[in-house]
Amino acid sequence: MAFTQLLILVLSLAKLASVVGFMEERYAVTEEIVDEVEDEDNKKTSDKNNGYEVYEVTDEGNGSSNSSSSSSSSVASSSSPPPANNGSDNIKWMLLPDGKGDVGVAILSGLEPKSTNQVENVEFYLYSRHNPNRAEKRTMNASCLPVFKYFKAARPSKFLIHGFGDSVQDSIMYPILKDAFLLKGDYNIFLVDWSELAATPWYNRAMQNTEQVARQAATLIDHLARSTGSETSTFHLIGFSLGAHVAGMIGQFVKSGKIKRITALDPAQVLFTGVEKNKRLDENDAILVEVVHTSGGYLGFQDTIGHRDIFPNGGSWPQPGCFLDYAAVCSHRRAYYYYGEAVRNKKGFRAIPCSNWPDFMAGSCKNNIENSFELANDHNTKKYRGKYFMNTNSEEPFGIIDKSARETNTNDYDYFGLLFDEFQNYV
């Protein structure tokens, strides 16, 4: 036992040392970006066409144009947002993960690129069981609406939408969810690639671009409804982080009917504090809006913003098993690992309605077991709405199966399945 404890201590110290080294490397990169921002700020008055717009940010986080800005409007030397209920809008930069889980500097305010990227840079990749490995790729433009050879109106459709710093090529989330859905059934699976409008380090610009990306996707859905006879009630939008807000605005902009369901995987909270509902995800964006919270109070929302909000392990960071999760990278990404494996396997543990996490942990909500549900099933009734809580294991399999709670071969509707075929624990 003593040897085991010593081994754990040695491994923990080694992990801590690697994290410290990583942070020192990122700090050096941050200093380079800060210096670059200051250089651009100092050149603003002599070269107004240098490709950047510098804003002076007030204490309330509102930017005002200032062509004679001094170095006081450069990036602040703070890499962490205020705790809990945010106020993150006052921060000029912070460390954020990209789609691969790599942590880097994200500009929140104080500097913006003069973007050359347009909505034509949004691409749509269609997969189905007829083309599971080779996507049918199309773009949207004003002169020609796309035709998808493999799209079938009789199939339900899933739109998967990545977040900040991600792309179809680099995404970890996309293959997890795409393969899980195609294993479950034959769907039209659309991967939305807005990587050029969500590129690092410009988080502020990516946030602003969510609306135009949503308009493009909504136009495509309306086009599919008109040209193929498909119904919007068969469309399911799944968005991660910033992509969750894109999904919400798609629901607002679609004109051919109400979107059936939106699943928001740890929707981004950074810079969305106090934002009007028509600029972010909210419960009015689909017939059912469900939200999975895994890094609440840091990268993701802590408060309820859907018809039903699911809080694995309380919904906050760090999630169990996310050792030294200094930038909430592991906890943030758990949302799509949980959901992907819920699609693959229903059994695992129940999501139980409860008013708050302490009551759930105290066992005060055990009588609500009859109203428990599984995340990956289409429970659209009002019975399965509200706040739901659950526990997970700290490593795979994450699902906690309680065989005493009416589990049978025919009764799989009381279980929220979280069994994992693969998982990479990132710290």
Percentage of the chain beyond pLDDT 70 is: 64
SS3 368: helix
Is the pLDDT score of 321 beyond 80?
Answer: yes
Q: If pLDDT is split at 50, 70 and 90, which confidence band does 368 have?
A: low
Tens digits of residue pLDDT in 183-234:
989 999 999 999 999 999 999 999 999 999 999 999 999 999 999 999 998 9
| 8 φ/ψ angles, rounded to the nearest 5 degrees | -60, -40
Nearest CA to 419 out of 368, 343, 365 is that of 343
Is the separation of the CB atoms in 371 and 384 below 8 Å?
yes
Between 95 and 47, the more confident residue is: 95
Residue 420 neighbours by CB distance under 10 Å: 20
Can you list the domains of the chain with their CATH numbers?
Answer: 17-110 (no CATH), 126-267 (3.40.50.1820), 293-328+337-427 (3.40.50.1820)
Is the separation of the CB atoms in 350 and 390 below 8 Å?
yes
Q: If pLDDT is split at 50, 70 and 90, which confidence band does 78 have?
A: very low
332 included as an active-site residue: yes
Between 205 and 342, the more confident residue is: 205
- Report the predicted TM-score, pTM, of the whole model to 2 decimal places: 0.75
Q: If pLDDT is split at 50, 70 and 90, which confidence band does 377 have?
A: low
Between 404 and 15, the more confident residue is: 15
Nearest CA to 210 out of 155, 248, 156, 158 is that of 248
Tens digits of residue pLDDT in 385-396:
889 998 887 877
Catalytically annotated residue among 162, 282, 332, 372? 332
Between 189 and 25, the more confident residue is: 189
The residue length of the chain stands at 427
266 included as an active-site residue: yes
Model pLDDT, residue 81:
43
| 209 φ/ψ angles, rounded to the nearest 5 degrees | -80, -10
What distances in angstroms separate CA 214 from CA 186, 198, 205, 268, one per listed residue?
Answer: 25, 13, 15, 16
146-155, 177-186, 415-424: the lowest-pLDDT one? 415-424
Catalytically annotated residue among 98, 166, 193, 266? 266
Q: If pLDDT is split at 50, 70 and 90, which confidence band does 352 have?
A: confident
Catalytically annotated residue among 73, 74, 195, 241? 241
CA distance 278 to 187: 29
